[in-house]
Amino acid sequence: MRVLSVASEVYPLIKTGGLADVAGALPPALAAHGVEMRTLLPGYRSVMARLSKRPKVLHRYEGLLGVPARLLAAKVEGLDLIVLDAPSLYDRPGGPYGDEGGKDHPDNWLRFAALSRAGADVAGGLLADFAPDLVQAHDWQAAMTAAYMKFSGITVPSMVTVHNLAFQGHFPAEVFGGLDLPAEAFAMDGVEYYGGVGFLKAGLECAWAVTTVSPTYAREIMTPDFGMGLDGLMTRRADTLFGIVNGIDTEVWNPETDPHLTANYSAKSLKGRKANRRELDMVFGLDPGGPLFIVVSRLTWQKGMDLLAEAADDLVAAGARLAVLGTGDAALEGAFHAAAARHRGRIGFTLGYDEPLAHLMQGGADAILVPSRFEPCGLTQLYGLRYGCVPVVARTGGLADTVIDANAAALGAKVATGLLFEPMRADALRSAVRRIVSLHADRAAWTSMQRQAMRADVSWEKSAALYADLYAALIEGSRT
């Protein structure tokens, strides 16, 4: 099977979130299932810098939605890439979506419509050496691929994968003229959304199938509480909506070999965790002793960080320590600075994005807190499982699908891997903290839970097989 993946970020070339991890991890994981995946991504400055001096030109556009552009072939870190080189759209400072100050680029509609148009062209047979059997487009930035395919009469099956329904790519109706779509596309079953243009909505409407990154989130987005205005559309699509949980790179995240740890360890011998804990205490200025809880997260409302800030005093009162690594809303950053100042030696806060420190935290702390209000899949709880840093998570989305709660039955059967709580309120989080502190005091039960967590399968193996099965079914369906 030949599959074209269209994505606005791909690890390790360009990353702002979990989408990049998935787009980068799927091609090698799928190769084992006979899937030849090529990835189309924008030629941002940082991506162009990774290409050879004379990359192979696959196609030259005189005007791709009015813009000069080329499709280049590249192999980077084992990934088979098609890079959309369009300097007027992508050769600029800042991140993939915004300027250096974090402000969205005003022409994002054009930048990602062009990406999607190119994706549809490749689907339609533009390239001599690669005619895909299926196209998988990720998130709103690539979702229009499915719309362009539909309105160009391209009959290759299309799939849109939603990593977070909160980001939808809404633009005013005026941009429609620049999309080079037939007038009929500006309709309910096309790109129109509440009088404007909705990129994700268009993809969800036009794709043959929709996937999201966990079965529970797939169910949740059919309800008004989680559907972000698209629950009606998702409900209509229930038969072609699938949830497949993300895996993680178990080489990059391996406590036995992780170079960012002070001491490596395995499920057999957890001894090394002590040295990592001591290092963490130093980094975060914590007094030794007491169970250590960590947070590695964007500091936002989605992640429930306001609930955590509210519960911080009780966490300290329960005898625990807290180390927080993150950036995000200024008010929440302020709240964690204040909590750290109030509880010197008990709460530590590091403002910033620090991958090595994130590894050390998983390798030295007792538990990771993920109190998200909604969570399509979540990755940090998977790292927690892999490192025996017990996840304490909200019962929502992918968190509910990947952690087995330490209730009496699960503890008795030795299958518990963490702790789930609901509702998403500060009082529930506080009682979860008390529960885990008392569990932590029972050393035998705790160690057994850590080991069980480390045995959980968090690799891409199973999920890659599910994707491959789904591709095959859609391709089969297109032939009959």
Query: Cβ neighbours of residue 286 under 8 Å, at least 6 residues apart?
Result: 280, 292, 321, 323, 345, 346, 347, 348
Q: How far is the CB of 328 from ligand ADP (least distance, A)?
A: 9
Q: Which is nearer to ligand ADP, 59 or 386 (CB)?
A: 386
Q: How far apart are the C-alpha atoms of 1 and 419, rounded to whole Å?
A: 40
Q: Which stretch binds ligand ADP (CB under 6 A): 34-42, 340-348, 374-382, 418-426?
A: 374-382
Q: How far is the CB of 334 from ligand ADP (least distance, A)?
A: 16
CA dihedral 20, 25, 27, 29 (to 10 degrees): -160
Is 358 one of the binding residues for ligand ADP (CB under 6 A)?
A: yes
Query: Considering Cα of 233, then 235, then 237, then 240, what sign does the dihedral take?
Result: positive
- What are the tokens at 259? 């170079």
Q: Which is nearer to ligand ADP, 380 or 452 (CB)?
A: 380
The total of other beta-carbon atoms located within 10 Å of residue 296's CB is 26
Residue type, 424: M
CB 5 within 8 A of CB 39: yes
Q: How far is the CB of 382 from ligand ADP (least distance, A)?
A: 8
Q: How far is the CB of 85 from ligand ADP (least distance, A)?
A: 27
- Scan residues 293-312 and list those touching ligand ADP (CB under 6 A): 296-298
Q: How far is the CB of 390 from ligand ADP (least distance, A)?
A: 16
Is 418 one of the binding residues for ligand ADP (CB under 6 A)?
A: no
Specify the 3-state DSSP secondary structure of 62.
strand
The helix or strand, by DSSP H or E, that contains position 17, with its residue range, turns out to be none
Is 216 one of the binding residues for ligand ADP (CB under 6 A)?
A: no
Among 1, 17, 76, 466, binds ligand ADP (CB under 6 A): 17
Q: Which is nearer to ligand ADP, 191 or 307 (CB)?
A: 307
CB 144 within 8 A of CB 168: no
Q: Which is nearer to ligand ADP, 192 or 375 (CB)?
A: 375
The helix or strand, by DSSP H or E, that contains position 411, with its residue range, turns out to be helix 408-412
Question: Comparing C-alpha atoms, which of 38, 9, 36, 35 is closest to residue 22?
Answer: 9
CB 123 within 8 A of CB 171: no
Q: Which is nearer to ligand ADP, 302 or 448 (CB)?
A: 302
Is 219 one of the binding residues for ligand ADP (CB under 6 A)?
A: no
Q: Which is nearer to ligand ADP, 194 or 353 (CB)?
A: 353
Residue type, 285: G
The helix or strand, by DSSP H or E, that contains position 160, with its residue range, turns out to be strand 158-162
Q: Which stretch binds ligand ADP (CB under 6 A): 113-121, 186-194, 377-385, 458-466?
A: 377-385
CB 390 within 8 A of CB 415: no
Distance of CA 473 to the CA centre of its chain: 25
- Scan residues 423-462 and list those touching ligand ADP (CB under 6 A): none
Is 108 one of the binding residues for ligand ADP (CB under 6 A)?
A: no
Specify the 3-state DSSP secondary structure of 426.
helix
Q: Which residues pair with 61 in a beta bridge?
A: 69
CB 37 within 8 A of CB 80: yes
On the 0-12 / 13-18 / 19+ scale of CB atoms within 10 A, 262 is middle
x/- contact string, 312-351, with ligand ADP (CB under 6 A)?
-------------xxx------------------------
Q: How far is the CB of 459 from ligand ADP (least distance, A)?
A: 15
Q: How far is the CB of 170 from ligand ADP (least distance, A)?
A: 19
Is 18 one of the binding residues for ligand ADP (CB under 6 A)?
A: yes
Q: Which is nearer to ligand ADP, 133 or 375 (CB)?
A: 375
Residue type, 442: D
Is 355 one of the binding residues for ligand ADP (CB under 6 A)?
A: yes
The total of other beta-carbon atoms located within 10 Å of residue 28's CB is 15
Is 380 one of the binding residues for ligand ADP (CB under 6 A)?
A: yes
Q: How far is the CB of 378 from ligand ADP (least distance, A)?
A: 4
Q: Which is nearer to ligand ADP, 158 or 380 (CB)?
A: 380
Q: Which stretch binds ligand ADP (CB under 6 A): 218-226, 311-319, 353-361, 418-426?
A: 353-361
Q: Number of residues interacting with ligand ADP: please give it, by CB under 6 A.
A: 16
Q: How far is the CB of 163 from ligand ADP (least distance, A)?
A: 7
Q: Which stretch binds ligand ADP (CB under 6 A): 96-104, 169-177, 236-244, 352-360?
A: 352-360
Q: What is the DSSP string of 308-355?
A: HHHHHHHHHHTT-EEEEEEEE-HHHHHHHHHHHHHTTTTEEEEES--H
Among 310, 333, 354, 405, binds ligand ADP (CB under 6 A): 354
The total of other beta-carbon atoms located within 10 Å of residue 444's CB is 7
Among 368, 379, 394, 400, binds ligand ADP (CB under 6 A): 379
Question: Comparing C-alpha atoms, which of 452, 459, 448 is closest to residue 404?
Answer: 452
The total of other beta-carbon atoms located within 10 Å of residue 343's CB is 18
Q: Which stretch binds ligand ADP (CB under 6 A): 202-210, 224-232, 291-299, 453-461?
A: 291-299
Q: How far is the CB of 446 from ligand ADP (least distance, A)?
A: 24
Question: Comparing C-alpha atoms, which of 250, 164, 252 is closest to residue 461?
Answer: 250
Binding residues for ligand ADP (CB under 6 A): 17-18, 296-298, 325-327, 353-355, 358, 377-380
